Chain A
Amino acid sequence: MNTDDLIAVLAADTLPQQTVGQRLWRALPVAIGVTVLAFVVFWGARADMMAALNSAAILKTIFPLVLALLAGALAFGLARPGLRADMRMAALGLFAAGLIAAFAMALARDGVSGLTGALATPSLVTCLLSVPTLALPLLGAVFWALSAGAALRPRLTGAVAGLLAGGLSAALYSLHCDQDAALFVLPAYSTAILPVALFGAAIGPRLLKW
């Protein structure tokens, strides 16, 4: 088939395509539903959830949500060729830097003994296992949506998709977790989200290929 004929074929195909946003809009609510259901059945909210949400502990839920939002905006940008994603990348980087600064400040206040004390709880293992597990359905939905896009850097895009899914999952898990110390939440949640991002980076080149 010569190129002119191919063009004729392509021009004849006028059916609308699903964009990344439309796919996300379809898949993410389903994935969130599945994750929330699993959360309610197997984890359950902490007994004092309402009281916690009225205290500073609500930051534990808000920060991962902000992370997910920033990561989502960046992932959208990365899936669209010709779009400069620098600003979104900078926003995400700035947010991460802020978290590290907050961790450094808390560490300076309470010292290393404060850190080891905060982390010496069985909640740590639960957190490190729960966040990646709860993130899996979300990651599936995000990848399905992004595969409709045209990621020029699939590994990076996959990692950012992992941050998005991990952030949402951590926000949900925070409703179960009863450890509110900054020296627990910052290192534990970050370490729990990281494997999701790494997994996303690992499968990105394969699943976001086009």
Chain B
Amino acid sequence: MRAAKRGDSVAYRQLLQAITPVLRTVVRARGTALGRETCEDVLQEVLLAIHAKRHTWQEDAPLRPWLYAIARHKVVDAFRARGRHFDLSIDDLAEVLPAADGPDPTEGRDMEKVLSRLEPRAAEIVRAFGLNGETTAETAARLDMSEGAVRVALHRALKTIARLRERMIE
């Protein structure tokens, strides 16, 4: 996380990958009735929150209490919001049985909905990094933008995504 705060994207990615399984277990334990997909949406929300609030962690403080505080807050928030219009479909029940060759269990639904409401170019950039695994330089070259502009656009897009998700769930 320390390296991440200095802009080390590789270290940051490793950190997020390392904490995700733990967070997923926590989220699924709390939301067994909501189905896997919803849990994955909540997990993605937690990750977005960790990302958006990463500056509130101070380098000399232990990381774990901070991480758990963020996660707990977001999980409670997300389940409370979803509990209000809770729908239990057959699909959710089916998921209790282990599916042999189902869709990707880590696929979230909310993210696609949000991306479709984003400005096309911003969504394109987010997809470039996520689905296509492009680097900043590749995206910049393909979209004919400077690398700085791509970074700024991505940064803004993530902020918009956080805002849209907030509004969507309410």
Contacts and interface: CB of A to CB of B under 8 A. Distances in A.
Interface of A: 1-20, 79-83, 148-150, 152, 209-210
Contact of B44 (A6, A79, A82, A209): A6
B contact residues, range: 35 or more
A15 B53 CA distance: 13
A19 B9 CA distance: 19
Query: Which residue, of A1, A14, A80, A149, has the highest number of chain B Cβ atoms within 10 A?
Result: A1
A95 B30 CA distance: 41
Contacts of A6: 44, 47-48, 108, 111, 130
Given A18-B55, A79-B56, A3 B106 contact: yes
B20 A12 contact: no
Contacts of B26: none
Contact of B66 (A79, A81, A148): A81
A206 to B, nearest CB: 12
A17 B48 CA distance: 14
Contacts of A12: 9, 129, 135-136, 154
Q: Is the interface of A mostly helix, strand, loop or mixed?
A: loop
Contact of A19 (B12, B55, B152): B55
A9 B129 contact: yes
Contacts of B8: 14
B66 A82 contact: yes
Given A1-B111, A2-B107, 9 more contacts: A2-B104, A3-B24, A5-B130, A9-B129, A10-B47, A13-B154, A14-B12, A19-B55, A82-B57
Interface of B: 4, 7-10, 12-13, 16-17, 20, 24, 40, 43-44, 47-49, 51-58, 61-62, 65-70, 73, 104, 106-108, 111-112, 115, 126-127, 129-131, 133, 135-136, 151-152, 154-155, 158, 166
B154 A9 contact: yes
16 contacts: A1-B107, A2-B108, A3-B40, A4-B17, A8-B13, A10-B48, A13-B151, A13-B154, A13-B155, A14-B12, A17-B52, A81-B66, A81-B73, A149-B56, A150-B56, A210-B49
B67 to A, nearest CB: 8
A9 B56 contact: no
B114 to A, nearest CB: 9
Contact of B166 (A10, A149, A209): A209
A112 B20 CA distance: 63
A150 B67 CA distance: 12
A7 B14 CA distance: 9
